[in-house]
Structure formats: C-alpha cells, structure tokens
Amino acid sequence: MPQGFVITKWTNDQGMLVELKYPEEIEVDLDDMMRVFYAHIVGAGAGGDVLVRLEKAHSNVSSHFTGMDSRVPYLVNLMLELGEDPDMFGDAIIKEINENILKYLNQLGTDINKNFDVLKTLKSYLKSALFLLERLKNMTKEQRLAQIYSSKKSRTILEIMQNRSYSRRELQNILEDKLGTFVSNIEYTLDPFIKTNLLKQDWIEGFSDIFLFLISDFTVFRKPAENIIESTKKDVPSSDLAKKYNDEVKKFFANYQPTLVDNIRIALDLMNPDKYDFIVLLRERAYPLNKLPKSSADSFLDTNTLLKALEEDNIIKIFRDKKETDWVFLFTDVAVEKFYPEYMLENIRTKSLKKEVAIRHLELLEEAYQ
C-alpha cells in the first residue's frame, strides 16, 4: 500500500528542502532524501525516474526528478512499502500523477497567499491520487489486461513471450536489452500476466531458474455497446435518441481501424478505476446527464472532468432529446478478449528449445486448451 508523497527540492544555498508531504504524519529523513537525490544526479543530473530502497525508512521510493537545469529542481517521491514497485500501478498512471503534481508546483512563486492556496489544492490532489493507487491494487481481470497493454514494458514482455518460453533471468536480460534500461523487481511486472493466466511459471528439473510459458494471448479493440444497441432497437430511451445514436455509431465503425495509439488510449481508460466505473455503468443503459450517479468524493477526477475525457476518447457521447434533456450513452465499448495462442505450437516445433522445456510448454498449452 502506498504510504504517501514527499516532495523535495534542491536549493543552492540550503541544499535539500521538503516542499510538501502528504499525509502530514509521514516521517521524512533528509539523509534518505539525499540518497534518492544522489541516485538521480549520478551522471549528468538530468531529469528522470528511479526506484530507491530505503532500509531506514522501511520503504521503497518511486522518485521523479525534474533535473538540475529546471527552474526549480523538484523531486516527487512516492513512498511505497518495502518490496513494492511502481509497476504494480502501471507506468502511465504514475507518469500522469507526476505531471499533474508538477503543474501545481510550477504555479508556486513569490505570492504567499497564492502559494498557500496552491499547496492546499495540491494536498487535496495527493489525497485523491493515493486513493486511486489503492484502488488500482483491486483491478478486475479485464483491467489487468488493459494495464499490460497500456505499458510499454509489459507490451515488450508480451512480444518476447510470443516467441517462445524463457527462464525469468533470460526474460529480464532480453527486456533490459530491448528497453535499454535496468529492470528491477520483474516479479511485480509479471504479476498481471500471472493473475490473468497469460503466463504460467514452472520449475523444470535440471534448471536452476523458474521458466515462464505463454499459454494465452489477448487483444484490445473498440466494439459497439451491445446492450445499448439492443435497447435502441426498442426505441429506448426514445425513438429520436435511438436514431441519432445508431446513425453516429454506424458512421464511426464504418471508418474504424484499430491502431496501437488508439488501443493504448482506450486501455488506459479501462484501467483507470474512476473511468472504468462509468464504462461498466453505461454498458447497461443510457442515463440523463442530470441523473447520472456522481463519482466518489475521493475520486481522482470529478464527474464532469471524467465525462469530458471519456467523450474526447469517443467512449461516451452525449445526445439531446426533444425535451432538451442531455443523455449520456456508451458510444464505443472497450473489448479485451483473450484467445488461444495456436501460433505457439509452430514456434515450439521450429525454435531451438531444450526438449524438457518444449514438452512442458506443450503440456501447459494442452491444459489451457481443455
């Protein structure tokens, strides 16, 4: 479980200072914060992300640094439990949180009253961000698959595993080579693969490392909202809305071609717990805008912001009826569909594999098929 945020900055006259922490009771050791700072500035002191293990604080720190050449060198530190890794939340979510925090920090200046208001708003944002991260630990299977698709690291793992089986050490080495960066705690990165039964882990006699086997694959794409389409056939909620909706849906899917960029976009929508709640709700029926259930008070984004984001991504669409009432429809649904990887059978036959590894992979694929 995330412990909180500690935001620090580097100053030439006073060194490392704590700008803000949330919650207030979280303990901050400046020596620990300096360790995180040094982890960043090894080399050119450029901005970027690091994961640092702090024994004294009994925590891991996922830290983002703006760089020594930025106007104010800020470090946004997400304090995690010892052994936790930011990969469990997805790199896109962490990146979005860091970017939003920096937007607030960049509003700080010489006006004391304005600074007070900015920091107060930022604390409220940090509270919502922690609530979001906590919810991400309880994702559904389709959300976990969306998490895999939305992460470059996870997509790269899937591409590697679509080739053949590998030991965990082999996978880590290939992954680091492809990404050009060190990969820590690969167990956390693999967690959604295991929980969704895409990969199986198994020991093979005579080998010192655990092996990973792809036994299922998946794809992400848009599809028509089936329940809503069926409702409009019965002129629900009304004949004029049904016609408007169906005309727009037909026009959209007549020109729809899945792309990696669009698939990542809709995977991120599905992965976000607040957006996911609305998608699940709207899969069943359309709602008048003024009667749509509101998002939780602790939600990462308010309802209007959520709806606007989903509308921009063509997930929802708002139509106005003859009585000037706005209705919210699920415009395109997000499909995350698993399939049996028949291509692996040919790969096992043609790839250079140890006999014991190939046999075990075939056994697992047979079990998965049944």
How do the pLDDT tens digits run along the chain, 370 residues long?
Answer: 789 999 999 998 999 999 999 999 988 888 888 999 988 887 555 568 888 888 777 788 999 999 998 999 999 999 998 877 787 787 788 999 999 999 999 999 889 899 999 999 999 999 999 999 988 888 899 999 999 999 899 999 999 999 999 999 999 999 999 998 888 778 888 988 999 999 999 999 889 899 999 999 999 999 999 999 999 999 999 999 999 999 999 999 999 999 999 999 999 999 999 899 999 999 999 999 999 887 665 555 678 889 999 999 999 999 999 999 999 999 999 999 999 999 999 999 988 888 999 999 999 999 998 7
Q: Name the nearest CA neighbour of 290 among 276, 300, 304.
A: 304
pTM of this structure: 0.83
Distances (CA, A) of 227 to 203, 281, 352: 45, 11, 48
Asked whether the beta carbons of 10 and 80 are under 8 A apart, the reply is no
Asked whether the beta carbons of 264 and 149 are under 8 A apart, the reply is yes
Alpha-carbon gap, residue 147 to 164, rounded angstroms = 22
